[in-house]
Amino acid sequence: MSDRPVLIAGNWKMNGSLAAADAFAFQLGEHLAKTRAAAELLVCPPATLLQRLGERLRPLKVGLGAQDCHAKPSGAFTGDIAAPMLAELGCRYVIVGHSERRQFHKEDDATVRAKAEAALAAGLTPIVCVGETEAQRESGQAESVVGGQLDGSLPASGTVVVAYEPVWAIGTGKNATQADIAQMHGFLRRKLGAPGAATRLLYGGSVKPSNAAEILATGDVDGVLVGGASLAAEDFWAIAAASPAR
Active site residues: 98, 165
Cα–Cα distance, 126 to 96 (Å, whole number) = 6
Strand residue runs (E) in 15-113: 40-44, 63-66, 93-96
CA distances from 245 to 1, 39, 49, 50, 61 (A): 9, 7, 30, 29, 18
- What angle, rounded to 10 degrees, do the helices at 233-241 and 18-34 form? 30
Contact 180, 170 (CB under 8 A): no
Strand residue runs (E) in the chain: 7-11, 40-44, 63-66, 93-96, 125-130, 161-164, 200-203, 223-226
Q: Write out the DSSP string of 140-154.
A: T-HHHHHHHHHHHHS
CA 147 to chain centre: 18
| Cβ neighbours, 10 Å, residue 74 | 9
CA distances from 20 to 45, 66, 77, 117, 136 (A): 11, 17, 29, 32, 37
Give 49's DSSP letter: G
